[in-house]
Amino acid sequence: MIKKMKINAKGYQVLLLTLAVFITGCQSTDNQKQPMTNDDTVTIDTPLGSVTGLKEEGLQIFLGLPYAQPPVDELRWMPPKPLNEKYEDLRATEYPDRAYGTPYLDALAGRDIPGDFNEDCLYLNIYTPAADKSRRPVMFWIHGGAFIQGSANEYSGSAIARENDVVVVAVNYRLGPLGFLDMSSFGDEYEGSGSLGLQDQISALCWVKDNIAAYGGDPGNVTIFGESAGGASVLALLAAPSAEGLFHKAIASSPGEISGTPTNNIPVLESLFDAEGEELLSILRQTSAADLVDLQVSGLISTGGAIDGKILPVLPSRAILANKDKGVPLLIGNNKEEGTFLVDAIPPESYDIMTYIYGISIADGDPSEYIAALNDLVPEGSPRDRMIRVWYDYFRASGLRAAQNSTIAGVGGWNYSFEVPGNTPFGTTHGSDLAFVFNALNHQGDMIFPTWHEASDDNKELARKWSATLAHFARTGNPNGSGFPEWPQYSPDSRKTLVIDIESEVVEDLDGPGILSLYNMD
């Protein structure tokens, strides 16, 4: 039995820090999508057997395809295992269950997300113009949510697939204490357990390599893309040796760079359950998934992406340089006002510790110079205003560093700043670009996640153009050619950023040498 414990201030801080780092940026709306009930179906033959999906005009949709064995019972906290049997007339017409996760903040709650929480969660959804013999570019979507919440079920690839002749794959992966709890102290077989969610993503990419041709996709042209924690996952996969060769381009929206080593939660668990060693392991195996997630919700344990030495051995930005021509082209950027929404997820008393923690990432080392400069960066601002600036710099610095290193490595890196004004007090905040990524403003019925922007004619045209640009990059490895100004690679000699707005432009040195010095990029 779990001993009753009070949540101390440190535990609460850790929870809030985790929640705030990679939360998905959404706002409640009435434009929600229900699970599909289309009676028109299509049945195809695949290497794993017969699969029946949904058929719409110009689109075929296959929901809830298992890509690995259920990570339950003896497979809890184990690496994903390949499927051990073929499908038997699989009916892929309903959204799958999704990984256990923590509740959304109030501003994100109230959405009717299909799929129950289930430890059996290793499924993916496919949106394809046709499951034929064509070899279309594949866009592999990794959802955000701080590595503790979110699901593939909240995103539809319908518009991108139909309008750009690409195949979109959206993946569910383990979250929180089931996906990122470091269990390595229990034995060698648990090495890498702090990165199981990343291993799930890699397993899904292996499934794509072996099976996507049956769905009209090209296994030799796969682009990984994601936002927030999904963007951080994209950068992590660039640095993961076991992911090498499984994808060929990368797009990261508002990513933080995974850094630091896994949190050691075992002493806390030993105290909570009054047990150690094999006894504790046995208790943890018998504890329900919901109760394990509750430990994270309460702030008693903290999990998230980390440099674990096995799956993710080094900082992604350094891996990009080291990989050189073995790397892939990278398109990466952030939003103009990332922190305006995130700042309200944390108490003011946490601002100083957050500034220090994120300052390490921003400065790529010692944060003292950056912290000292904050008052000058926000001269008239309150502590809250300075914290908003920290959030912006956190996402901006990781994106610039990754783009520049990709260009230096010879594979190409392009940087953008998304600055389209939103219609909420948060402005162009974290996650506000998602409706443009998926062209949801033109197809609002497709999306479960809502939008921060109104569906004006200008915004709808920009959403169409931006989603088309991402698909063009997936096809060619170059973002140019879809209606934006000529967009050069970001390099130390040509620090050019595409500013995305109703009137977009390429800006030289958007950040200025003083800021780049604080980012340790001068």
Active-site residues, by number, are 228, 338, 430
Paired residues of 55 in beta bridges = 60
List the end-to-end C-alpha distance of the chain, in Å, as a whole number. 55
Q: Map residue 126 onto helix, strand or coil.
A: strand
Which pair of tokens denotes residue 451? 């939008």
The candidate with the shortest Cα–Cα distance to 43, out of 89, 100, 12, 86, is 89
What is the rounded CA–CA span in Å between residue 117 and residue 446?
22
CB 167 within 8 A of CB 139: yes
CB 160 within 8 A of CB 208: no
- Angle CA 299–301–307, to nearest 5: 125
CB 483 within 8 A of CB 465: yes
Q: What are phi and psi of 74, to 5 degrees?
A: -70, -10
What is the rounded CA–CA span in Å between residue 512 and residue 210?
46
Classify residue 314 by burial, with Cβ atoms within 10 Å: 0-12, 13-18, 19+: middle
Q: What are phi and psi of 382, to 5 degrees?
A: -85, 170
Neighbours of 111 (CB within 10 A): 17
Beta pairing class for 59-66 and 90-91: unpaired
The candidate with the shortest Cα–Cα distance to 45, out of 94, 92, 89, 84, is 89
Tally the C-alpha atoms within 13 A of residue 114's C-alpha that lie toward its C-beta.
20
Q: What are phi and psi of 281, to 5 degrees?
A: -60, -40
CB 217 within 8 A of CB 46: no
Tell how far CA 312 is from the center of its chain. 16
Please name the residue ranges forming H helices in 364-512.
368-377, 383-409, 434-437, 457-476
Neighbours of 100 (CB within 10 A): 25
User: What single DSSP character describes residue 43?
Assistant: E
Q: At what angle do helices 351-363 and 368-377 cross, to 10 degrees?
A: 110
Classify the C-alpha dihedral 87-46-163-482 as positive or negative. positive
Q: Where are the beta strands (DSSP E) in 177-309?
A: 217-227, 249-253
Which pair of tokens denotes residue 17? 């820090």
